Chain A
Amino acid sequence: MSHPAIDGAHSTRVQPLFALMSGVLFGLGLALSGMVNPTKVLAFLDIAGAWDPTLAFVMTGALAVATPAFNIILKGSRPWFADAFVLPTKIDLDWRLVLGAALFGVGWGLAGLCPGPAFADLVTARVSIAVFVAAMIIGMLVVDRLQRRTR
């Protein structure tokens, strides 16, 4: 994977552009897939009811692109417009990961909303979506506050 010749000032100008582009693709993908609709997500999770397996096809599509691409990209020394890849550093399984994922799963199952669709759905200007996002941000702040105290 070749890297365009760039200097620092140029890269900080270009980075936001690619973040915007990534966001647009993400929003289009969420909308096209139907995953912006909580009822459709809940229908995927409802395996004992009128099951709608669409979400599995969304994951398959996303992984069909991301898996080969990530493994090629990460073999390179650095991204196009940054000094280094910023990847998660933790590799061990711990109780925080498992408990966190479990709590997230329960919340996801209650409303059918996860962070991406919840944020995308703000464009509908629905009060219920805004309430969900506000509660989600409060939840994030609580964890940040507690984790800072325990460190």
Chain B
Amino acid sequence: MAATFTPLSGFLGGLLIGLAAVTLLIANGRIAGVSGIIGGLLRPAQGDAGWRILFVIGLWLGAVCSAAIRGGLFPVELETSLPVIVVAGLLVGIGTRMGSGCTSGHGVCGIARFSRRSLVATAVFMAAGIATVFVTRHLLQ
């Protein structure tokens, strides 16, 4: 599991993510936060589901297109055991709804508009993520 540092593709990918957020805000007036877009689908208001579904389809199209461009699907290495995956999924679902956002909503869109709530949320989930990896990889191993 050697870490490979890829700053250029990371930065370019980031530019595209920023462009995605700008597109949704300038055209539709919406925040490109994935947990918010998905969460809104669980109990959609009238006429509010279509754009959310299309965003998700777009996400898949983008992922598939990148696979076509690079000549193969991107690597997805998930070495976590299934019970831990279930717990992680539950925590991510509960946490993003309770905290009103995730990496994209708070970490990109919120910080971009200097939201104090998003700055705090991003600092907290980064710290909690770092602490969790420290415990699972360095204290429990």
A, B co-complexed? yes
- Tell which of B14, B29, B132 touches A29, judged by Cβ atoms closer than 8 Å: B14
User: A135 contacts which chain B residues (CB < 8 A)?
Assistant: 85-90, 93
Nearest CB on B from A95, distance (A): 9
Q: Which residue of A lies closest to B99 (CB)?
A: A100
Nearest CB on B from A87, distance (A): 7
| Cα-based distance from A37 to B39 in the complex (angstroms) | 23
Q: Are A57 and B14 in contact (CB under 8 A)?
A: yes
Q: Are B124 and A61 in contact (CB under 8 A)?
A: no
| Cα-based distance from A25 to B101 in the complex (angstroms) | 20
Majority secondary structure, A binding face: helix
| Cα-based distance from A48 to B84 in the complex (angstroms) | 22
| Cα-based distance from A25 to B11 in the complex (angstroms) | 14
- Tell which of A31, A34, A93, A108 touches B117, judged by Cβ atoms closer than 8 Å: A93
Q: Are B63 and A30 in contact (CB under 8 A)?
A: yes
User: B3 contacts which chain A residues (CB < 8 A)?
Assistant: 40, 43, 46, 49-52
Q: Are B78 and A28 in contact (CB under 8 A)?
A: no
User: A92 contacts which chain B residues (CB < 8 A)?
Assistant: 117
| Cα-based distance from A18 to B57 in the complex (angstroms) | 12
Once A90-B117, A120-B59, A135-B88 are accepted as A-B contacts, the answer to whether A102 and B124 lie under 8 Å apart by CB is yes
Q: Are B39 and A144 in contact (CB under 8 A)?
A: yes
- Tell which of A23, A31, A121 touches B57, judged by Cβ atoms closer than 8 Å: A23
Q: Are A116 and B22 in contact (CB under 8 A)?
A: no
Q: Chain B residues in contact with chain A, CB under 8 A?
A: 1-32, 34-35, 38-39, 42-43, 47, 50-52, 54-67, 73-80, 82, 84-104, 106-113, 115-117, 120-122, 124-134, 136-138
A-B contact pairs, 27 of them (CB 8 A): A15-B50, A18-B27, A19-B58, A22-B20, A22-B27, A25-B19, A27-B61, A28-B13, A29-B62, A33-B9, A33-B17, A45-B129, A47-B130, A50-B3, A61-B16, A62-B14, A62-B17, A65-B14, A66-B109, A69-B112, A70-B109, A81-B27, A114-B104, A118-B92, A119-B56, A133-B89, A139-B94
